[in-house]
Amino acid sequence: MTDNRPTLAVVGATGAVGTVMRDILSTRQNVWGEIRLIASARSAGRRLSVRGEEVEVLELTADVFDGVDVAMFDVPDEVSAEWAPVAAERGVVVVDNSGAFRMDPDVPLVVPEVNARMTRQRPKGIIANPNCTTLSMIVVLGALHAELGLTALHASSYQAASGAGQAGIDTLHDQLNKVAGNRELGTHPGDVRRVIGSDLGPFPAPLALNVVPWAGSLKNDGWSSEELKIRNESRKILDLPDLKVSATCVRVPVVTTHSVTMHATFENEVTTERAWEILRDAPGVVLYDDPARGEFPTPADVVGTDPTWVGRIRRSLDDPHSLELFVCGDNLRKGAALNTAQIAELLAAELTPA
């Protein structure tokens, strides 16, 4: 009997997101026929587990896409920019998690809970997956927008080390080892820097016992690339090209799961109760909001789970059109691998004969 199910390629199978992706593919509904694991020449030949089977990692070449229906890319921007079109030219639908195509008007930027219909409009054969920080909040924001009409957003992020990949995770653990046990640390200027030394990994300052108001690269007028991504991607996903957005991105010493505080303003007046009502039933959202019982999301509880968690919802005291919220989302799952897998599953349903 032939396997009618589509063939999937996972490009970048060995990184921090690739590892979570293999875990997700092993636990979600098995919609794929063959799964090919693809990485750079350096990792080719390794055997990695997916769906309980050992699979040999193949080198990224044009021919490796022969017979592939859908490819999920999690590689640096420049690798996606080069190879996603190569795969698309061979008839593969590419779901790309890099920043290379997100703002391309011919590439839809998709969050299945918010704009699943956009997956069908893909003239280049490429669909983009949003940045992890945008994804940490957009499912909650999309649900509220659908009912209340979003007009403005001010966001501040509390971003995890793994947003900077495996090197970010390793750096944070290395630094924690260095600072732990020294009870004098964190009280004199520069003492944390002295103990941690000059190896800051992918971060511009020590991350252990610190917060760092920087993520990404420097763009015009002092904005970081990460802050502009939140603005541009939220506008595109919500189809609100004039949405007012300002964001400040800050890295915190958390391994995985981004948190975001949001001040969101709507066309309609809002109440906390109405927000609860909307979010209680929203797909992909867990409402966890009872401070009297100590219930609000934190990264330590949210990490490893699929939904976006939301709590600390309050109507702004000076504006009946605005809400304050605190959201947490696993930046490697919903923030990357899970959303990519969800988009790919929409394609699998489209490509699988009824």
Q: Are strands 244-248 and 70-73 parallel, antiparallel or unpaired?
A: unpaired
Q: Which is nearer to a copy of itself, 92 or 325 (CB)?
A: 325
Distances (CA, A) of 95 to 26, 123, 140, 245, 266: 19, 13, 22, 26, 32
165 is in an annotated binding site: no
**Is 131 annotated as contributing to ligand binding?**
no
Q: Which is nearer to a copy of itself, 68 or 169 (CB)?
A: 169
* Residue where the block lists tokens 């021919």: 63
- Closest contact distance (angstroms) between CB of 44 and a copy of itself is 26
Active site residue 145: no
Residue 59 or 306 having the CB closest to a copy of itself: 306
Catalytic residue among 173, 258, 263, 321: 258
Question: Cα(238)–Cα(255) distance, rounded to whole angstroms?
Answer: 29
321 is catalytic: no
Residues 6+ apart with CB under 8 A from 39: 11, 12, 13, 14, 18, 46, 57, 58, 59, 60
How many residues are present in the chain?
A: 354
Name which of 333, 340, 345 is nearest 109 in CA terms. 340
Q: Does 224 show up as a binding residue in the annotation?
A: no
Between residues 54 and 184, which has the closer beta carbon with respect to a copy of itself? Answer: 184
159 belongs to an annotated ligand binding site:
yes
What does the block give as tokens for 166? 């495996």
Write down the least CB distance from residue 121 to a copy of itself, Å.
27
Residues belonging to the binding site are 14-17, 42-43, 102, 159, 162-163, 251, 331
Binding residues for phosphate: 102
Which residues have a catalytic role annotated? 132, 258
Which residue ranges are tagged as binding site for substrate?
159, 251
